Amino acid sequence: MSEQIDAIVVGMGASGAIVAAELASAGAKVVGFDKGPAYDGDDVRFKHDEIKYYVRKEIVPHMGRDPITWRPDARSRATVLPWAVGPLAVDEPLHLPPSLGTGGGTVHWGGASWRLRAADFRMRTELVARWGRSALPEGTDVVDWPITYDELEPYFDRVEWEQGVSGRAGNVRGRSIEGGNPFESPRARDFPMPPLRNGAGDKRFVEAARRLGYHPFPQPAAIVTTDDFAEGRSGCTYCGFCHGYPCHVDAKTSTHVTSVPKGLMTGNLDLRPHHRVIEVLRSDDGRRVRGVRYIDPDGRRRELLADRVVLACYSLENTRLLLVSGVDGNGCTGKYFMTHNYGMFAGLMPEYTNSFMGPLTAASVIDDVNAELIPDNDLGVLWGSAITSHSGDIQPIEGMHAMPPHAPTWGAGMKEWARQNFRRMHAMYAQTASLPSEHATIDLDPHVEDPWGQPALRITHDWTDHDVASVEYHLRIKRRIGQEMGMTEFWNETPRPAWHLSTHEVGTHRMGEDPAASVVDRHGETHECAGLFAIGGGQFPTNPSYNPTTTIMALAYLTAEHIAQGATSWGPAPPS
């Protein structure tokens, strides 16, 4: 006989843990599934191990258990991610896919905590007004979001004050604040904590950017900077093992530190780690959710029934579960895969920068050419990006992967290069907005399965000419800043990198008001199946330049509030 509870949440990461905790706090009996472990403090106290986390990918799904395949176009045969295979997978540029277990990607993220700009929510309107419809690349389907910045602002505020984000406001209720981002959209109040202390190399970045007419400001970071923000969370110790690593003092905001304990304290959240959900159960006509089918830690297949199911895995796994469950969203499920291209730029400074110290987000940013602020340009780039100084959190092995092309890659030559240069490195990156294209999709691979007989997810994606032009446009600015900083030499990654994942994958179950052109509504509920929600980055109709996690969290608070308000009493959900 199957169990029946009020709500099921699949995935206890950035969005799922928030929804589970909020529903449990509202009185719902919630089961939270995660195919990874439930982390506690003892798991991360001794985490300063680049071999364990960066090379051996301790907390990242392995392609043998959770395969993902990739092909550049629909004519090609897909292969298991070519940059994430082998015994060590050391060619992988980032920790991909995001972490398994409670906290999900927030266990290893760098903590860049951005609110989207108001213009990001109306990208189509802005682009057409500025450039005209004919400027949009062929095959793109740029749309406005079904929600505005003003509507989501209170939920951004909740993320910053409940989860913990440090920074300096630039625009409080329309009033400009010195030292913050002069281009940010209005906020109701300042951050709850001051910004991080910036890395050594960042001082030259700030001075150079100002001389060139830009307006640098501190990176907003989901990292606690004071010891009094929350019980049990210390201020950042600047250990230098941040992005790609758990935090040993819980300074970095992760939902396994914030929301999961909150949900468990209610007594209403039943957390089930090492449980793998394999299918969403639906009514005979497919129009209402019934629950999920899952594999327990002993390998047994079981069912759990509920009238509310929230898929809150990473966007890719959410989409895979929708597809294996037959939720195709009128053919929209899996369309418009989008990711970021970083255009990594690095160089050497005359003095020590010691970029192995401090977190990734202990740095400054310029927003002068971001989003709709991008000037007219000869490359035809339609949407801009922030440019961020990368002054910390570069461990030795990672640093060796960022050497210039002419540097020796083995033996005595490599050691000598590292001795002379590793401590003088400084980097910059952008996150160019990829436009939603009909040619970039994800679906089920007909040839590759996981050990449980489930089809692997297949990515079809290649960098477009607009992607490449955008990377080059922002590289021009980085080169000017690097020269103004006094870099003795500099180099950059190719604008067409071999990788096609960035941990910022979005768009594959986009939200919208029209069921014929979107998969979910503004609250994340699928148009096709009442009571079934698919939330996270997959909801994004477009992919602006900012990191998506803070917006994912804000949308999770919105979804949880919507579900709780719709439940006059817990038990069967009302008809949609």
Q: How many helices (H) and strands (E) does the chain have?
A: 11, 21
Per-residue pLDDT tens for 34-44? 999 999 877 77
Phi, psi values for residue 243, rounded to 5°: -70, 130
User: How far is Cα 556 from Cα 312, in angstroms, rounded to an integer?
Assistant: 9
pLDDT at residue number 86: 45
User: How far is Cα 528 from Cα 457, in angstroms, rounded to an integer?
Assistant: 21
Per-residue pLDDT tens for 51-99? 888 877 888 888 888 999 999 999 999 998 876 654 444 444 455 677 8
Task: Check: CB of residue 551 under 8 Å from CB of residue 505.
Answer: no
pLDDT at residue number 295: 97
Per-residue pLDDT tens for 293-348? 999 999 999 999 999 999 999 999 999 999 999 999 999 999 999 999 999 999 99
At 499, the pLDDT band (50, 70, 90 cuts) reads: confident
Spatial CA neighbour of 84 closest among 68, 100, 65: 68
Domains present along the chain, CATH in parentheses: 3-566 (3.50.50.60)
pLDDT at residue number 576: 55
Lowest mean pLDDT among 86-100, 173-187, 263-277, 364-378: 86-100
**Residue 285 clears pLDDT 90, i.e. is over it:** yes
At 2, the pLDDT band (50, 70, 90 cuts) reads: low
Per-residue pLDDT tens for 383-430? 999 999 999 999 888 888 888 989 998 899 999 999 999 999 999 999
Q: Which residue has the tokens 């409080």?
A: 172
Name the percent of the chain lying above pLDDT 70.
Answer: 96
Per-residue pLDDT tens for 125-183? 999 999 999 999 999 999 999 999 999 999 999 999 999 999 999 999 999 999 999 99
H helical segments located in 27-89: 50
Average pLDDT in the 187-202 region?
A: 96
pLDDT at residue number 46: 82
pLDDT at residue number 90: 47
Phi, psi values for residue 164, rounded to 5°: 105, 100
pLDDT at residue number 574: 62
Per-residue pLDDT tens for 419-453? 999 999 999 999 998 899 999 999 999 999 999 99
Predicted TM-score (pTM) of the model is: 0.96
Mean pLDDT for the chain? 93
Per-residue pLDDT tens for 203-214? 999 999 999 999
452: CB partners within 8 A, 6+ apart? 276, 278, 295
**Residue 250 clears pLDDT 80, i.e. is over it:** yes
**Residue 509 clears pLDDT 80, i.e. is over it:** yes
